[in-house]
Chains A and B, each alone.
Chain A
Amino acid sequence: MEQPKPPSVAASAAEAQNPNAFTCELPHSIYALAFSPSAPVLAAGSFLEDLHNRVSLLSFDPVHPTAASFRALPALSFDHPYPPTKLQFHPRAASAPHLLASSSDALRLWLAPLDDLAATATAAAPELRSVLDNRKTSASEFCAPLTSFDWNEAEPRRIGTASIDTTCTIWDIERGVVETQLIAHDKAVHDIAWGENGIFASVSADGSVRVFDLRDKEHSTIFYESPRPDTPLLRLAWNRYDFHYMATLLMDSSAVVVLDMRAPGVPVAELHRHRACANAVAWAPQATRHLCSAGDDGQALIWELPATPGAVPAEGIDPVMVYDAGAEINQLQWAAAYPEWISIAFENKVQLLRV
């Protein structure tokens, strides 16, 4: 097929509308987003219901942002089989090469040369380093697609993947083998997130949030179940700054359900201000009680939880801040290296928002 055209920057309208929001248009629909933990780079994955998809790397200037500085780097874009369901950079910044992981039919690791972004003309495209799948025989069977994955920040050799075959698989990416595969959910697993000390949680189409401990693989704890029977849970976000809190999204629901590890079963809060279904949720990287959610109503809302769980008012919590994108927001990421920046994806646009 043809090479994609260079992406055009149509930020004049957005800039006139909001001087602190920067828009980059790409030639295809966007779903997966990932901030680099060390470089001002944002990875964006296309969503084409086709074998041929593409991952683009966008650079931005966090100090003196301009419309021109937020742009795609054509030399660093690469083809990707099937649309990536999640993208994530290696969580350790200094001591490791810039690895980018993607999940679709398998878990793939890419080597992204982000060290010298200025020399984009001569840089090589990201190189596929390894493909991790657990096919029994490589010739005849197919690996079940992966819905999501999470990279363990404390032990970066571990990546946990979620699959529609009801399994959670823990990979050792240094040896390229499966460390553990756990079957606990009755239906497809939609998302996975690491906590601390080898603990991770997963959400499933069976409507439950389960918490696993690698030190005790025999058991998993049902931490939350959706109030309506068999309502699937779609997304899960674990607060990295305060591991007591998790947030999850339900199918066909506008609520963001906030859970507290110290009080399983009953949500700490249910955030009900989206006027359409919620699509994405992310915790603030350097605050204990702030999170951002985005939905089909085109709004990105920043919330602040009350200091004590009992202080949730009966009429519900109002968000602190609101941004209106004008179209359904499908993805949301809050940069850990630059906490004042949030990135959203809607239609074929990626936006950089200053908090």
Chain B
Amino acid sequence: MASAPPVQEEPLQPGTNHFRSLLAAAVRSISWSYAIFWSISTSCPGVLTWNDGFYNGVVKTRKISNSADLTAGQLVVQRSEQLRELYYSLLSGECDHRARRPIAALSPEDLADTEWYYVVCMTYSFQPGQGLPGKSYASNASVWLRNAQSADSKTFLRSLLAKSASIQTIICIPFTSGVLELGTTDPVLEDPKLVNRIVAYFQELQFPICLEVLMSTSPSPNETEDADIVSEGLITHNAIEEGQMVVSDECVSNANRDPITMEIDELYSIYEDLDLDMDLDLDTVRFLEDNGWPVNPSSFQLVPASSTEAVAAAAAANDVDGVANSQVSCFMAWKSAKSNEMAVPVVTGIESQKLLKKVVDCGARMSTGRGSRAALTQESGIKNHVISERRRREKLNEMFLILKSIVPSIHKVDKASILEETIAYLKVLEKRVKELESSSEPSHQRATETGQQRRCEITGKELVSEIGVSGGGDAGREHHHVNVTVTDKVVLLEVQCRWKELVMTRVFDAIKSLCLDVLSVQASAPDGLLGLKIQAKFACSGSVAPGMISEALQKAIGG
């Protein structure tokens, strides 16, 4: 199992450099499964790739020839190295087992799911902003991902891989040179203190590197080596066989070589980064140069029209061939500095455009010498002509306005429309006059025919009046006659009575009280009698009996 006895948890790491030991210390201090450090790739600038890692998870099959002599920490370190070597062998296509003296090579069958996840991660690379490491690097902030196995593959590119390995929680912490990723199979709630503790480990990273750089140029490595020997001595005392001591010395020797190699690699990486920055600067300079290039001003040039006819005409016109002058134009290029002179106010007044004004005023009218009389006469005639023309036009415009206001149907403004609508209106008027004349003549004739009787026509209907049959000389007798005829809703009333004051008023009041609406009335007064013929209709839905109507009217004319 990954957990070690408490006694063995001391961070004595004689077999690795400081950086890797810090990785191991960080991940083991929190008992997580793995740590990976992604840094900017040297082959692909701007891309995060695997730099180093430490595996602290489940181990399926151990292949160690002398496992009894190694501490738990050493076993874990060795496992990480074996996983890295497996990755390289897979990358190069060597699938056969390669036996090495202190370490046996692993094969894919020897890996647990978590170990396989750790190995496959070595194949990944991330653009800034892509995946968890890329996102953390771009935003320069820690990213804490829980439930990694069920995360969206867009957010977490390796979600399927994490699911098969039961990886649940992942942290990505940005550093100057890259991103540190820690993962575990346990669900861990987001904890800023944990992030700070991990960062504290790596804040010590820079200081030890400086010390190591200094130590590389001084005899102090011997002291360090002495310290390691002392540690190994302690271990040796625990050992029973004498031969094991030789193996320990070999490990120490390998450990001493690795830090130097790592330092050299880091230096190369720094130099390459500087070159990369220089390249970027050059690109920037090139970009600025492109922007700064001035646009060549377009030159103005006319192509002269050369034709044989022109040449022939020129030859005919010129007896002697003169020396050809240069083709340079006598115009000069405009200088933009002259735009300042635009502030000079433009001179206007009686002297400006002098000749042009005289031309458009037609200097022909001027007279300063012989012919002054003709000029004066012509000038007078011209002015009269202009004035009369203007008066005529003003008069026409005025009359058009008057016509527009008189004719009510004119809505448009232009003169043609005014005339057109006036003509239409006059035609309408003529038509109405004809209609009126044709309708008034028959009425006049009838009136002439029946002139003996006085009539009042209210609705224009022809008057049909019945003269009551009366005996001769009986003018003194009263003749009251009421006739009521009801057809559907129309009532025809015929009333005949002696003319008296207010008799008409009483008749109409009676009709109104019967809920009748009067439609038409014809009245006549033959021989002093009042004759009424009234058409009415029922105002309400209920109808009144003809007898009641007759009785009401009898009362009206009788009273």
Which A residues contact B (CB, under 8 angstroms)?
18-21, 29, 31, 38-40, 47, 49-52, 59, 61-66, 68-69, 82-83, 85, 104-105, 116-118, 141-142, 144-148, 164-166, 183, 186, 188, 190-191, 205, 218, 232, 234-235, 251-254, 272-277, 279-280, 284, 286-287, 290, 296, 300-302, 304, 315, 318-323, 328, 330, 337-340, 353-355
Contacts of B363 in A (CB 8 A): 47, 49, 82-83
Cβ contacts under 8 Å, B47 to chain A? none
A20 in contact with B329 given A61-B317, A83-B363 (CB within 8 Å):
yes
Measured CA separation A117–B365 after assembly (Å): 35
> Using Cβ atoms and an 8 Å threshold, which residues of chain B touch A273?
334, 338-339, 342
Q: How far is the CB of B306 from chain A (nearest CB, A)?
A: 9
Q: Is the CB of B300 within 8 A of A251?
A: no
A59 to B360, CA, bound (A): 28
Given contacts A20-B330, A61-B322, contact A234 B356 (CB under 8 A): yes
Taking CB atoms, residues of chain A closer than 8 Å to B367 are 49-51
| Interface-located stretch among B368-376, B446-454, B527-535 | B368-376
Q: Secondary structure at chain A's binding surface: helix, strand, loop or mixed?
A: loop
Given A52-B369, A290-B300, A322-B334, 17 more contacts at CB 8 Å?
A20-B326, A38-B309, A40-B314, A47-B358, A104-B364, A146-B362, A164-B386, A205-B360, A234-B357, A252-B352, A275-B344, A275-B346, A277-B352, A302-B331, A321-B329, A322-B331, A338-B305
Whether A105 contacts B331 in the complex (CB less than 8 A), given A49-B358, A49-B363, A166-B389, comes out as: no
Q: Please, could you name 24 A-B residue pairs with CB atoms under 8 Å apart, sorted by A?
A: A20-B330, A40-B317, A49-B358, A50-B366, A50-B371, A85-B360, A141-B385, A144-B385, A144-B386, A145-B364, A145-B382, A147-B360, A147-B362, A252-B349, A273-B338, A275-B341, A275-B347, A277-B353, A286-B305, A321-B334, A323-B330, A340-B302, A353-B331, A354-B329
Q: Which residues of A contact B319 (CB under 8 A)?
A: 118
A40 to B339, CA, bound (A): 37
B558 CB to nearest chain A CB (Å): 79
- B330 to chain A: closest residue by CB: A20
Nearest-neighbour CB distance to chain A for B371, whole angstroms, equals 4
Instruction: Determine the residue in chain A with the shortest Cβ distance to B380.
Output: A142
What 1/0 mask marks residues of chain B from 309 to 324 whose CB sits below 8 Å from any chain A CB? 1110110111101111
Contacting pair A40 B313 (CB below 8 A): yes
Task: Please give, as numbers and ranges, the residues of chain A lying within 8 Å of B347 by CB-CB distance.
Answer: 275-277, 296
- A31-B362 contact, Cβ under 8 Å, with A38-B313, A144-B386: no
Q: Which residues of B contact A (CB under 8 A)?
A: 300, 302-305, 309-311, 313-314, 316-319, 321-334, 336, 338-339, 341-342, 344, 346-349, 352-371, 374-375, 377-378, 381-382, 385-386, 389-390, 393, 416
> B317: which A residues are within 8 A, CB to CB?
39-40, 59, 61, 69, 117-118
B353 engages A50 (CB within 8 Å): no
Check A83 against B364 for contact (C-beta < 8 Å). yes
A83 to B355, CA, bound (A): 11
Residues of chain B contacted by A253 (CB below 8 angstroms): 346, 348
B contact residues around A64 at 8 Å (CB): 314, 318, 321-325
Say whether A321 contacts B332, CB under 8 Å. yes
Q: Which residues of B contact A339 (CB under 8 A)?
A: 302-305
B332 to chain A: closest residue by CB: A322
Q: Is A276 in contact with B314, judged by CB distance below 8 angstroms?
A: no
Q: List, in ascending order, chain A residues with CB within 8 A of B358's CB.
A: 47, 49
CB atoms of B302 and A287 under 8 A apart: yes
- B509 CB, min distance to chain A CBs, angstroms: 68
B184 CB → nearest A CB, Å? 65
Q: Is the CB–CB distance between B378 and A105 below 8 Å? A: yes
Tell me whether B329 and A320 are in contact (CB under 8 A): no
> Closest residue to B323 on the A side, CB-wise?
A64
Partner of B310, one of A145, A321, A338: A338
Question: With contacts A20-B329, A340-B302, A353-B330 known, is A62 near B359, CB below 8 A?
Answer: no
Closest to B366 in A: A49
Q: A62-B310, A296-B353 are in contact. Are A69 and B302 (CB under 8 A)?
A: no
Closest chain B residue, CB of each to CB of A347: B355
Q: Are A51 and B375 in contact (CB under 8 A)?
A: yes
CA of A272 to CA of B321, assembled, Å: 43
Chain A residue at minimal CB-CB distance from B347? A276
* Cβ of B426 to closest chain A Cβ, rounded Å: 23
Assuming the A-B contacts A145-B365, A355-B331, are A279 and B355 also in contact, with contact meaning beta carbons closer than 8 angstroms in the complex? yes
**Contact flag A142-B302 (CB < 8 Å), given A64-B324, A234-B353, A338-B310:** no
Residue of A nearest to B348 (CB): A252
Separation in Å of the B165 CB from the closest CB of chain A? 64
Report the Cα distance A284→B305, complex, angstroms.
13
**How near does chain A come to B171, taking the closest CB pair, in angstroms?**
58
Most buried by A among B325, B346, B370: B346
Q: Which residues of B contact A252 (CB under 8 A)?
A: 348-349, 352-353
Question: What's the nearest-Cβ distance from chain B to residue A192, in Å?
Answer: 12
Q: Contact check, A66 vs B300: say whether CB atoms are below 8 A apart.
A: no
Q: When the two chains form their complex, are residues B310 and A337 in contact, meaning their CB atoms are under 8 A apart?
A: yes
A19 with B325: CB separation less than 8 A:
yes
- The reply to whether A318 and B352 contact each other, CB–CB distance below 8 Å, is no
In the complex formed, the residue of B with least CB distance to A334 is: B302
Q: State the CA gap A65–B310 with chains docked (Å).
A: 13
Q: How far is B339's CA from A280's CA once the two chains are assembled, in angstroms?
A: 21
Kindly identify which residue among B318, B334, B342, B361 contacts A320, using a CB–CB cutoff of 8 Å.
Answer: B334
How far, in whole Å, are A10 and B390 apart by their CA atoms in the complex? 49
List residues of chain A with CB within 8 A of the CB of B346.
253-254, 274-277
B310 to chain A, nearest CB (A): 7
Q: Which residues of B contact A323 (CB under 8 A)?
A: 330-332
A229 to B362, CA, bound (A): 23
| Contact in complex: B389, A51 (CB < 8 Å) | no
Measured CB to CB, the closest approach of chain B to A141, in angstroms, equals 7
